[in-house]
A and B are shown apart, each in its own frame.
Chain A
């Protein structure tokens, strides 16, 4: 994130001179277009083609194991999905996981970012320690947390047995909310470092002069945080929230490993996986993945609107 900002900011001045050097910049533009053309073509092949293929498939009743029964049914798959209670239950689960994990991660991640930013001694060690969970493969961390919450050999039940609602025989995966809690904890542990990394980038962009000026003016630590630091890193916060929210909305691995969707802990991605991969329902599954894509788009748009951040400004072009 920080590198992108830095390089685009450095490249910005020549762009401002565009009006003066039309011919040259036009030639450069043309060269640039020619240089990126191969990459654009490859991108179209590997992303646009599957997307259109999914859109096309979603209009059919089509099962991988009975290819002869492929029939065009228009938007009927979308009707089935949108009127099905399972779809809405899974969407609700996904939204709950997303809101809770992103909310908690933002707070913890910010605290970690502050620590990483301000720390004087053992800087490298502390930063590495904070980033370790992010370096662990999600499936591995999901298994680790599944064992932690396990009724038979987990440490959660014994360590927290002093809490009135946790007993040695508490079965975390035996009902909906405890299972959701375990999934959310695992997700938070795994991805908070990513959040703090993005926030650290934002934090390092806040000018020390401004903070010092505020301090000289008598602002308390709390006031400096809320009036100076956070407003100045709004763009970084937006990017962090956007990335993590979109990631969290597509949660799959943790659920696959920890509950396999039992106890109604399925997410939208998991439902799509089951329709396409397990049941070979290419039509219904494609409709679900198109809806998932639209939901992610909507989410991204909402977050950008919510933070009222001009993306160009975030890149340092404004």
Chain B
């Protein structure tokens, strides 16, 4: 009797403890969302050096506060985390930073809340053409271009002088590979088995007047055009560099950072890399930037305009957010030219609009020479975004599987890769 009485008492106590815990927990949860009737908008950002956190603070109002949550470093991991949460209708995401190649995939899956027409018009008007193209799926702008990145050709002035190559005129890949090989220099590129390698392949194909795929509205039945004269020319450039003495020793594993080190090293001659790389030398080797020259991205075919890569971030609003209207308003503020400039100053990720470059009294010109800013803008207008399709990750994975390592690229690679990607898209091959 006494034992059962004791047990009963223990049971009651446990129920009380549970109830108290529950009440405390729910109180803590409500405290998160509304301390003073203020909404909290959660913005999932890609890791950066504080630019997005700063503009989030700039755009927080009395009505809502924008809090940031950091996504993984790797772009594909960012995509996985966001897509899995969105597929489960997670209302904890309000705004998210989305890499351009995954924009169409998210939109096609119905994860993104439609952007009001007035905001679409405003964004289209302010953004670079490349930025608008990368943010558009099915005729609608589905994410708001926030920052836009492009690659230019960086060269060591001393090396170009030694090699006697005229950098005031557009140069071709053949020219820089030959110049580097003859004079003991290296051409630094990104060709590890990752998305950055596909960025290079896409730029080479686009530079030869081609495209990786067309008719993307047909979904899986899009027209792949890798096996084309443009694809052959791209393969020829990669093969030439990989088998030349101008190839860096770590070519098969080189990403942006490794390419930057090669360029900064004793054999550094040429490099294609994103805009932010300009800021990474001066702090380590003062005076180094005096030797850095920059020019338009190299041409794949002599005389044919180069199509530099396009990168960046677009802001999307989750369809499953409980605060879609507030989030749209926040996105409008976050992507204003002024905030694009603030972000660019902190992170080196350049604005997605011309107005952003001039915003806040040309503040960017304090960090970057005016001709370089000019070059960035020109490159962005000529940039070729990666094919906008919901199936980009299959295409990219297929290209990585068949074009890596660069030394194994041959004249048959474009045809092999096209067949393989087609099989992957139609579920006939494993990727």
Contacts and interface: CB of A to CB of B under 8 A. Distances in A.
Given A278-B76, A278-B80, A280-B83, A66 B390 contact: yes
Which of A73, A86, A278: most chain B CB closer than 10 A? A278
A284 B394 contact: no
Nearest to B79: A278
B71 to A, nearest CB: 15
Given A262-B193, A278-B76, A284 B430 contact: yes
Interface in B2-31: none
Nearest to B192: A262
Interface string B46-61: 0000000000000000
21 contacts: A65-B87, A65-B109, A65-B111, A65-B390, A66-B390, A67-B109, A69-B219, A73-B427, A76-B427, A80-B428, A80-B429, A80-B430, A84-B429, A86-B429, A86-B430, A262-B193, A271-B430, A278-B393, A279-B394, A280-B83, A283-B427
B427 A84 contact: no
Interface in A58-104: 61, 64-67, 69, 73, 76-77, 80-81, 84, 86-87
A76 B394 CA distance: 19
A278 to B, nearest CB: 6
B209 interface: no
A65 B428 contact: no
A80 B393 contact: no
A281 B429 CA distance: 12
A277 interface: yes
Contacts of A69: 219-220
Contact of A279 (B109, B428, B431): B431
Nearest to B109: A65
Interface in B56-73: none
B114 interface: no
Contact of B106 (A65, A86, A275, A283): A65
Interface residues of B, number: 23
Interface residues of A, number: 25
Contacts of A84: 429-430
- Most central of A64, A76, A275 by chain B CB within 10 Å: A64
Contacts of A275: 430-431
Top-8 shortest CB links A-B: A65-B109, A84-B430, A86-B430, A65-B105, A64-B87, A61-B427, A80-B427, A80-B428
Nearest to A283: B427
Count chain A CB atoms within 10 A of each CB in B76, B106, B220, B427 and give the residue with the most. Answer: B427
A225 B429 CA distance: 51
Nearest to B253: A174
Contacts of B397: 279
A67 B111 CA distance: 11
Contact of B427 (A66, A77, A86, A280): A77
Contact of A284 (B83, B106, B110, B427): B427
A284 B430 CA distance: 8
A155 B26 CA distance: 51
B214 interface: no
Nearest to B87: A64
A81 B427 CA distance: 9
Contact of A87 (B110, B193, B430): B430
